Amino acid sequence: MILPILHYPDVRLRTVAKPVETVDDTIKTLVKDMFETMYQAPGIGLAATQIDHHQRIIVIDISDEKNQPLCLINPEIIEKDGEIDWEEGCLSVPDYYQCVKRANHIKVRALNQQGKTFEIEADELLGVCIQHEIDHLDGILFIDHLSKLKQKRLLEKTKKVIKY
């Protein structure tokens, strides 16, 4: 099922997600729906927060063919090093792209869709994407990493579009 994606400046995007207690059929269905929503959007990553489900779940697929789905439940960065500037965009902040500094290399521990613990190392696009989506789970948007002036301009532009 395709789920609606929240858009900035919706305050629900600032909600800190709660850990998943048990990977049950409800969580598995949510993960499936998240992949469908992300692929349809189209995007390369989606956090449950973005669809107004405040549990620590992210889905990612950076492959061109969209055939390498990655699900991280309760993801936790356990190592990071280096620094990289990467131009980021976000399904919750449509048509807006800016360079953000992130760790270049990360190691993450999470649960998969079957509830099994695993670790993954990532750098460049995958590493940036994982960090971006984990930020969502903490109520942080990529625009929070930008200067106050850029944030103010984006908010003004967004308010004009949605006509507050």
> Are the C-beta atoms of 3 and 41 separated by less than 8 Å?
no
CA atoms 64, 101, 123, 128: torsion sign: negative
Pairing of strands 93-102, 84-90: antiparallel
Q: What long-range pairs does 148-153 form, CB within 8 A, spacing at least 24? A: 150/98
CA end-to-end distance (rounded Å), the chain = 30
Q: Which residues are catalytic?
A: 133
Question: How far apart are alpha carbons 116 and 62 in whole angstroms?
Answer: 22
